[in-house]
Structure 1
Amino acid sequence: MTTPSLDVRRDGAAHPVVFIALMVLVGLNLRPALSSLAPLLPRIEADTGMPLLAIGALTTLPVLCLGLFAPLAPWLSRRVGPERTLSLALLVLALGLGLRGLATPAWLFAGTLLVGAGIGVAGTLLPALVKRELPASADVMTGVYTMALCLGGALGAGLSIPLAGVLGGWPVALTSWAALAALGLIAWQALMPTPAQRPPAPPRSGNTRALLTQPLAWQVTLYMGCQSSLAYIVFGWLPTLLVERGYGEAEAGWLMGVSVMVQLGSALAAPWLARLGRDQRPALILVLSLIGAGFWVLLQGPAEWRWAGVVLLGLGQGGGFSLALSLIVLRTADARLAGKLSGMVQGGGYALASLGPLGIGVMLDLELGLTGITLALLAVVAAAMAFALLAGRNRRLINDEAGRLVVR
């Protein structure tokens, strides 16, 4: 009697368990490059002599690149296939992480640009690949993928200062994350789905121009932009804001790391919560309320409440991002249309989100104080709620019998 084995491939495609493992490994790579930078900014500023506005630009550049390069993902995917495009994105990410370790301002900006490009392309492809590989549970699997993103972000934030101490400085600490990217690339190359053995692709459904005329697509994009702006403010500036509040550098890094770690649970739970009602509006308003409360407690509340603020912020941001990605798959009828919407949502959303870290850098440079910054953050939360009330309705983009893109 033979023991059944788990084949890593089924008819030329990756086994679902293997695909989920690959998805998690790739997801782990898409946040440390961003979150590992923020706790080290004071050291980078001191060692390189970069002015505060340049440091602000360094935190803004990767988010802007996410927006600029995300629309390239569907274009590259059509020409070389989504699997090879994702391999290329991981390679670019590893190269960018390596260049940042050269530690001069020019190489820091060049490496950060490549990091943003790689993450922008990979992050856009994965929701469409999830919809293609696991269509029956795409929203829940998006939560698993988001959980991997949050874990990667937490590791990047929490380990930055310890790695700098163990490895002998911040340049090596930044470069060390290239090893994880290389591991992800090797695993994806070895086990990725085989496009040559897949059934023919379905007919093209919709096009970018038609998508741009749909209010629903813009509502999802603007929600993504607002909530991502808040997320990348955390990745880029939260430790600096906490130091401004009076906490130590190491404690500020750990507070950020714990906040990102808390996102793991809500990232996985949010899609399930969203399934309880007819639409996603209650879940969206809940997570955004938690984000607003978390910012207020951390930046304005009593110091002894800081860990409660960390938990509130983490729960809100994990759920907010998970729901943003879930909206991409829930608001589209098929994987191809999900890929197009993903390119628009992540491209336009991240371009908008880049204004957040830049704005905080300008406010710090102008010495507007934590009260003004807190009010600005709460204003962004309010804007996100307005767009969530529209994007969260039970609507879906679909092609009708005549091939026109419509909402039903």
Structure 2
Amino acid sequence: MTTTTQPSAKDRALLIAGILMIATTLRVTFTGAAPLLDMIRSDYGLTTAQTGLLTTLPLLAFALISPLAAGTARRIGMERSLFISLILICAGIGIRSLPSAALLFTGTAVIGCGIALGNVLLPGLIKRDFPGHVARLTGAYSLTMGAAAAFGSALVVPLALAGAGWHNALLMLMAFPLLALFLWLPQWRAKQTSPLTGARALHNRGIWRSALAWQVTLFLGINSLVYYVIIGWLPAILISQGYSETQAGSMHGLLQLATAAPGLAVPLLLHRMKDQRGIAGFAALLCAVSAAGFWMIPGQAVLWTLIFGFGSGATMILGLTFIGLRASSAHQAAALSGMAQSVGYLLAACGPPLMGKIHDTAGDWRIPLLVCAFAAVVMAFCGVLAGRDREITPG
């Protein structure tokens, strides 16, 4: 049972502010390191593949920790679990910024654990406390997350080049979770407990035998694979094509801002469609065209950045929507969500180091970008299948 008291307008406003501030920490503290990867690699003498682990470690944490989030929330509450996620993110940023390659990787993994808790629990908190405003808050949540990530990506390189160094530039990203902790502190005393049922649903083995479930999972998983390869290596790709570090960092921020934009447009379009086959295939093909464009016509990098950001943001929203539309029950939706997250993040974790290794072997980014383009075509095929108006049969 959930015991609640009617919150005042001030309490609800403070809760919304806390939610939006937590959202800012779930991407910028992870992706903010990408514009500095060349500096980090040079400073520590890392190979491209080793540097790619800085993108992979959080993804592995997402895959491993996400299934544990519901159980943690049941034991200590969603509010306190989110507080702990912010503590982990702060601790990880501090560890990552110390002058040691080993601590760089350790801190990155800790950040991933904190983000994983927030990724799973924050949308559930919105559904629980604002059931009549899920669409609006989700749009604001997506936009806030993208805007913070864009700001962080554009800021870290000038800070590093201005004399602060990349260690201190990354350390300054702690401002986001520290402010979120301050705004979230009143929620620590919250007496609410959320009856999450995801853990039991995750044991539904029947979902793993469903072709439709695999189509949804692969649509989300390939989107994560392509997105994290591009978000992780875009600055290095652009620098290799003659762009400055500052330009590459700004482009990296623009990509994340473009990724947030579909959060306001796509939900409005979905209500007018009988099924989602057309929009799913189209959004995925935008990712394919832009990935190829980065190599074939690098002078139009701004255009490809905007197209890729919109396409990847739209496919992510569609994939999350498919989880609810294709499931025939709440328990099955939880099982499908767990399947899609675990498989998707594990698939995404393979991308950055694999593409980095291919770059080291081939000497340029042509093959990695063409692989991403081909993967996006496969994603379009999966999206057309997942977008059909049908449900998974109960298992």
Please say whether Structure 1 and Structure 2 have the same fold, judged by a TM-score greater than 0.5: yes
| Partner residue of 1:88 out of 84, 91, 112 | 84
**Cα deviations by residue, 1:105-127 (Å, 9 ceiling, x for unpaired):** 11001000001111112101223
Single out whichever of 32-41 and 388-397 deviates more from structure 2.
388-397
Deviation string 1:54-80 (CA, Å, 9 cap, x unpaired) is 112222211222112111112212222
Conservation of the 8 A alpha-carbon contact between 2:15 and 2:184: no
Q: Which residue of 2 aligns with 1:164?
A: 160
**Superposition pairs for residues 5-404 of structure 1, below 5 Å?**
11-12=6-7, 17-166=13-162, 168-191=164-187, 194-196=190-192, 201=195, 207-210=201-204, 211-301=207-297, 303=299, 305-332=300-327, 340-367=335-362, 369-396=364-391
Contact 1:32/1:156, CA 8 A, preserved across alignment: yes
Residues 222 and 143 of structure 1: is their aligned pair in 2 closer, same or farther, counting only changes over 3 Å? Answer: farther
* Contact map agreement 2:254 2:305 (CA 8 A) in 1: yes
Note the residue ranges of structure 1 that are not aligned, 5 or more in a row.
Answer: 1-8, 398-404
Deviations 1:184-241 (A, max 9, x none): 1232231479343x7x848889621214444444332222211111111122101111
Preserved contact between residue 202 and residue 334 of structure 2 (Cα < 8 Å): no
Q: Which runs of 5+ in 2 are unaligned?
A: none
Distance 1:155 1:382, change over 3 A: same
3-state secondary structure, aligned to 2:394? strand
CA distance in structure 1 between the partners assigned to 2:13 and 2:210 by the alignment: 36
- Contact 1:263–1:315 (Cα < 8 Å) also in 2: yes
Aligned Cα root-mean-square deviation (Å): 2.8
- CA drift at 1:297: 2.2
In structure 2, C-alpha distance between the alignment counterparts of 1:252 and 1:154, rounded to whole Å: 12
Question: How much does 1:338 deviate?
Answer: 5.1
The structure with the greater share of residues assigned to helix is: 2
Is 1:406 the equivalent of 2:378? no
Q: How many residues are treated as equivalent by the alignment?
A: 389
Distance (Å, rounded) in 2 between the aligned partners of 1:220 and 1:195: 36
Once residues 44 and 146 of structure 2 are traced to their aligned partners in structure 1, the CA distance between those partners, rounded to angstroms, is: 30
Amino acid in the other structure paired with 2:50:
A
Percent of aligned pairs with the same amino acid = 32
- The normalised TM-score by structure 1 is 0.86
1:331 Cα shift? 4.3
- SS for the counterpart of 2:261 is helix
The structure-2 alpha-carbon separation of the partners of 1:82 and 1:281, relative to structure 1 and needing over 3 Å to count, comes to farther
172-181 or 365-374: bigger deviation:
365-374
Q: Distance in 1 between matches of 2:55 and 2:322?
A: 27
Distance 1:204 1:33, change over 3 A: closer
User: Does the 8 Å contact 2:91/2:110 carry over to 1?
Assistant: yes
The separation in 1 between residues aligned to 2:84 and 2:304, in whole angstroms, is 39
Find the aligned partners of 2:77 and 2:298 in 1 and give their Cα distance. 52
For residues 183 and 260 of structure 1, do their structure 2 counterparts lie closer, same or farther at Cα, with a shift above 3 Å needed?
A: same
Equivalent position amino acid for 1:160 in 2: V
Moved more, 218-227 or 32-41: 218-227
**Would the aligned equivalents of 2:34 and 2:231 in 1 still touch at CA under 8 Å?**
yes
Q: Is the 8 A contact 2:70 2:198 kept in 1?
A: no
In 1, Cα distance between equivalents of 2:191 and 2:179: 22
Letter in 1 for 2:308: L
Q: Tell me if the contact between 2:70 and 2:199 (Cα under 8 Å) persists in the aligned partners.
A: no
Distance 2:361 2:67 in 1: 34
Which amino acid in the other structure matches residue 74 of structure 1? A
Shift of 1:302: 5.2
| Alpha-carbon shift at residue 159 of structure 1 (Å) | 1.2
Shift of 1:18: 4.5
Q: TM-score, normalised by structure 2?
A: 0.88
Letter in 2 for 1:21: A
Secondary structure of 1:267's partner?
helix
